Amino acid sequence: MNKKVLFQDLGQKDYKETWDYQELLFKQTVDLKIKNRREEADEPTPNHFLFVEHPHVYTLGKSGDLANLLVGEEELAAKKAKFYKINRGGDITYHGPGQIVGYPILDLDNFFTDIHKYLRFLEEMVILTLAEYGVKAERSEGETGVWLDVGTPFARKICAMGVRASRWVTMHGFALNVNADLGYFDLMIPCGIKDKAVTSLNVELGKKEVDLNEVKGKLLKHFEALFEAEIIEQEKTSA
């Protein structure tokens, strides 16, 4: 089993370009698995982990309801935001500056073949990272992602998640609000869940800005520990 994970920080990059790049890496891994099976070979499959910061964009998952986007094309254009229907699970999500978006493209045959466990590990990675800032985060039963003050009138989401998997190869991932402009969340019903607020790490800490690179380093550290992986950092690239 190959537990090495090739990590790339793509910096600020258009959503569609990044989605295309994800699809390329995903297809290469799936194709190799198919080839191995047909030829009874055992060539190691690669694992990738991408970090990226997107310009303003709304994405709707396969099971999502378009009604959860509360504005039309003109309003989106005025806000300099784009919209895409995509092939992950989940409902509607916003990505934008000040948010760390992570896309693990893993062959789970290299780790464990359990999607539920995979999602819980991604959540735990975020929970442990936020704990280093003194923020107590947790899961909300039946709602994927990471939340604060669950079970109270002040429950709020700080990290959204939505993944796709085929032949145990994953894509898409999570979006952690670090210095996010929360006003953009007012244009949708986040993840289709009404009456729940959204927050950002800088808001919780009462800071204008939190160091994004510092947060990225903590996420990678906890990812390595949870998945018993070895991160192989590649140069920052525009892929």
CATH (domain of 191): 3.30.930.10
88 is in an annotated binding site: yes
Active site residue 191: yes
Single-letter amino acid, residue 235:
E
The answer to whether 142 is annotated as binding is: no
The whole-number pLDDT of residue 220 equals: 98
- Establish whether 1 is an annotated binding residue: no
> What is the structure's pLDDT at 237?
56
On whether residue 117 sits in a domain, the answer given is yes
Spell out the residues 6+ positions from residue 20 whose beta carbon is closer than 8 angstroms to its own.
none
The Cα angle at residue 67 between residues 84 and 165, in degrees rounded to 5 = 45
Q: How far is CA 168 from CA 117, 131, 145, in A?
A: 13, 30, 20
**Annotated binding-site residue? 9:** no
How do residues 115-126 score in pLDDT, each as one tens digit? 999 999 999 999
Determine the Cα–Cα distance for residues 159 and 213; give it in Å rounded to an integer: 17
Q: Is residue 175 part of a domain?
A: yes
Q: Does residue 186 lie within any of the structural domains?
A: yes
Residue reference for tokens 């402009």: 181
Please give the Cα distance from 166 to 168 (Å, whole number).
Answer: 5
* Residue 92 labelled as part of a binding site: yes
Distance of alpha carbon 146 from alpha carbon 140, whole angstroms: 7
Structural domains in the chain (count): 1
Instruction: Flag whether 238 is in a domain.
Output: no
Domain contains 32 = yes
Whole-angstrom Cα distance, residue 89 to residue 62?
6
Residue 239 lies in a domain: no
Give the structural domain span for 68. 4-233
Rounded to an integer, the average pLDDT of 187-214 is 86
Residue 151 assigned to a binding site: no
Question: Is 174 known as a binding-site position?
Answer: yes
> Active site residue: 191, 212, 220, 229, which one?
191
Q: Which of 6-10, 70-74, 93-97 has the highest mean pLDDT?
A: 6-10
Note whether residue 87 is domain-resident: yes
pLDDT band at 21 (very low <50, low <70, confident <90, very high): very high
pLDDT tens digit sequence for 74-109 = 888 899 999 988 877 677 889 999 999 999 999 999
Q: What is the pLDDT of residue 68?
A: 84
Q: Is residue 92 part of a domain?
A: yes
On the question of pLDDT at 187 being above 60, the answer is yes
In this prediction, residue 193 carries a pLDDT of 57
